[in-house]
């Protein structure tokens, strides 16, 4: 098996990476092409050239072959994992009709035509009519249909980025059930398109024939076409396997295959996930996302701005670290660990609630971020540590919600994403959760999750369970420090858990006075 490799294409928000893994989960070769930043024709919009994504995939693959001695013939399968919620419109000839609307886009449509009276009555009785209207206003489908009807009329297929790249690679309109995280008529319980009588078909202006065929992760959906082979250098005829969205792949790539092992993703959006065969709504009436394992669910809690806050801090307050890092040949984030270590656990009373972006239900649409407890002793170092602590508090709260709803206690943590590279962040995570925190053995966990799907799909391992156990393992493990754990546990229980409840009425007043967030 030494000459058998798996090619994962990971199309993230900032870059596209082509990754070669062996069947033991070792990263054998890597290339990376940075993407052009999204553009905004109007405030709050976030669009990207869809063909630019494909060009970056091709460039990343071609760069990979130039930088490795591994022969292309050793590649036994290919899979795509991508950012979630980015959508592409194609005409009948497969040509892109408009720029892709990315997951960062904040546009929303106006009031929609009422649903049927029985659905309105059901949602009112369940007290979720606001959630349903949020879904309809946020749906890119409805915005395009309303504001660009000529483009919508020409749209033959409406695809997520994963489906678009699959189409470019194999020529078929097929996507993974594990990638369907968006405002789409998807049945999250049964992992298929919603039934004909489902309310989502009334809520969204899309027809069934405009959507791709769905298959389970690990399914061979086609082979690399001659055109794709010419563009990417991947041998023609190589099997293309369905994987899942990047967060879902990250979970199994970090080894979180069982519900008692939680995966914390310290990425742009910070998340805590467990993989479960049981359908569990961590937030009532908000379904769990599909996992990267067939028939399984990902019980995810999100902090939407997550480790974006680290970049925000760097841009607003981290100029000294940026300059010092440049002089020493280090990334600014590496210098930030020094800031964290200058401050004691608890940041001398500075507490952060990381709701820099509002939510749907928990937190609600009125939510804002907050930092309380300022005194004359506090510096940038305290602010930075408070950011990391606040994110960990929020994810611990998510863990407790998952445990309460699922009935399964989390006993182990796997940490992935950019923030996992910080020893300081890893240690305070272990301290705040009171659990050992294990860094994933490779940084490219999303790509590894896609490689696991390939290995199971083409038979290099007999199934997902075997593949995941063979290809993942903990890296460095950080143990809780008892004295730190005691401080954090008191701050979490006696202060953090009460912050949102105490501040929520004031957030609502701020929104009423200022008109922001505007959806209120």
Query: CA-to-CA distance for 204 and 223, rounded, in angstroms?
Result: 32
Indicate the pTM of the whole model.
0.92
CB 198 within 8 A of CB 119: no
Query: CA-to-CA distance for 19 and 4, rounded, in angstroms?
Result: 14
Query: What pLDDT was estimated at residue 2?
Result: 62
3-class SS at 7?
A: strand
* 415-416-419 Cα angle (round to 5): 95
290 bridge partner residues: 297
CB 352 within 8 A of CB 386: yes
Q: Tokens 């994933």 correspond to what residue? A: 440
Handedness of CA 313, 314, 319, 325 (dihedral sign): positive
Each residue of 65-90: pLDDT tens digit?
Answer: 999 999 999 999 999 999 999 999 99
Residue 384, C-beta contacts closer than 8 angstroms, at least 6 positions apart: 313, 317, 336, 339, 340, 343
Average pLDDT of the chain to the nearest whole number:
93
Query: CA-to-CA distance for 49 and 16, rounded, in angstroms?
Result: 14
Q: Tokens 């290339």 correspond to what residue? A: 31
Q: Which strands, in side-by-side order, build the sheet including 157-160? A: 47-48, 100-101, 87-90, 157-160
For 367, the token pair is 């939510």
Query: What pLDDT was estimated at residue 520?
Result: 38
- Which helix (H) or strand (E) segment is 161 a member of? helix 161-170
Phi, psi (deg, nearest 5) at residue 107: -65, 155
Query: What pLDDT was estimated at residue 285?
Result: 80
Instruction: Give the residue ranges of the chain where pLDDT is below 50.
Output: 519-520
What radius of gyration, in Å, describes the C-alpha atoms of the chain?
23
Query: CA-to-CA distance for 154 and 381, rounded, in angstroms?
Result: 54
Instruction: Please compute, for residue 466, the number of CA atoms within 13 A of its CA located in the half-sphere on the CB side.
Output: 10
Buried b / exposed e along 139-176 (16+ C-beta atoms within 10 A): bbbbbbbeeeeeebeebebbbbbbbbbbbbbbbbbbbb
For 76, the token pair is 């036994």
Report the C-alpha dihedral over residues 243, 248, 253, 254, rounded to 10 degrees: 180
Question: Measuring CA to CA, which residue among 279, 275, 277 is closest to residue 298?
Answer: 275
Query: CA-to-CA distance for 513 and 40, rounded, in angstroms?
Result: 27
DSSP state of 10: E
* 425-299-272 Cα angle (round to 5): 5
All structural domains of the chain: 5-243 (3.30.420.40)
Each residue of 189-231: pLDDT tens digit?
Answer: 999 999 999 999 999 999 999 999 999 999 999 999 999 999 9
- Which helix (H) or strand (E) segment is 334 a member of? helix 332-341
Burial class (CB in 10 A: 0-12, 13-18, 19+), 29: middle
């Amino acid at each position: 098996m030494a000459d058998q490799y798996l090619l994962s294409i990971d199309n993230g928000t900032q870059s596209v990476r082509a990754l070669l893994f062996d069947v033991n989960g070792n990263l054998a070769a890597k290339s990376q092409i940075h993407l052009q930043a999204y553009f905004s024709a109007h405030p709050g919009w976030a669009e990207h050239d869809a063909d630019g994504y494909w060009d970056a995939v091709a460039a990343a693959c071609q760069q990979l072959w130039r930088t490795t001695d591994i022969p292309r013939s050793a590649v036994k399968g290919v899979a795509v994992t991508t950012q979630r919620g980015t959508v592409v419109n194609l005409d009948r000839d497969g040509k892109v009709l408009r720029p892709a609307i990315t997951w960062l886009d904040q546009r929303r449509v106006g009031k929609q035509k009422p649903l049927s009276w029985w659905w309105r009555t059901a949602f009112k009785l369940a007290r979720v009519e606001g959630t349903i209207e949020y879904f309809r206003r946020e749906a890119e489908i409805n915005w395009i249909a309303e504001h660009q009807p000529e483009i919508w009329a020409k749209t033959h297929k409406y695809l997520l980025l994963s489906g678009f790249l699959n189409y470019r690679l194999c020529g078929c309109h097929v996507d993974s059930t594990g990638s369907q995280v968006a405002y789409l008529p998807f049945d999250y319980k049964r992992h298929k398109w919603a039934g004909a009588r489902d309310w989502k078909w009334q809520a969204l202006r899309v027809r069934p024939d405009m959507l791709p065929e769905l298959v389970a992760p690990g399914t061979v959906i086609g082979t690399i076409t001659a055109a794709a082979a010419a563009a990417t250098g991947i041998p023609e005829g190589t099997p293309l396997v369905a994987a899942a969205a990047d967060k879902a792949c990250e979970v199994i790539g970090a080894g979180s295959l069982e519900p008692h092992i939680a995966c914390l993703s310290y990425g742009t959006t910070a998340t805590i996930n467990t993989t479960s065969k049981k359908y569990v709504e961590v937030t009532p009436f908000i379904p769990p996302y599909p996992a990267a394992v067939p028939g399984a669910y990902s019980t995810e809690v999100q902090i939407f701005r997550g480790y974006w806050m680290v970049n925000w801090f760097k841009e607003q307050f981290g100029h000294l670290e940026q300059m010092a890092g440049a002089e020493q040949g280090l990334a600014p984030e590496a210098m930030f660990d020094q800031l964290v270590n200058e401050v004691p656990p608890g940041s001398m009373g500075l507490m952060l609630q990381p709701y820099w972006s509002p939510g749907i239900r928990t937190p609600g649409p009125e939510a804002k971020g907050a930092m309380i407890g300022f005194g004359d002793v506090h510096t940038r170092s305290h602010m930075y540590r408070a950011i990391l602590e606040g994110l960990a508090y929020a994810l611990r709260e998510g863990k407790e919600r998952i445990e309460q709803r699922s009935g399964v206690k989390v006993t182990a943590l796997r940490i992935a994403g950019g923030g996992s590279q910080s020893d300081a962040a890893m240690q305070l995570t272990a301290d705040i959760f009171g659990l050992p925190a294990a860094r994933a053995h490779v940084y490219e966990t999303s790509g590894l999750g896609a490689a696991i799907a390939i290995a199971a799909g083409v038979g290099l391992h007999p199934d997902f369970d075997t593949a995941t156990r063979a290809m993942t393992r903990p890296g460095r493990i950080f143990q809780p420090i008892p004295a730190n754990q005691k401080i954090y546990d008191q701050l979490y229980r006696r202060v953090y858990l009460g912050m949102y409840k105490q501040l929520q009425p004031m957030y609502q007043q701020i929104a009423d006075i200022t008109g922001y967030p505007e959806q209120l």
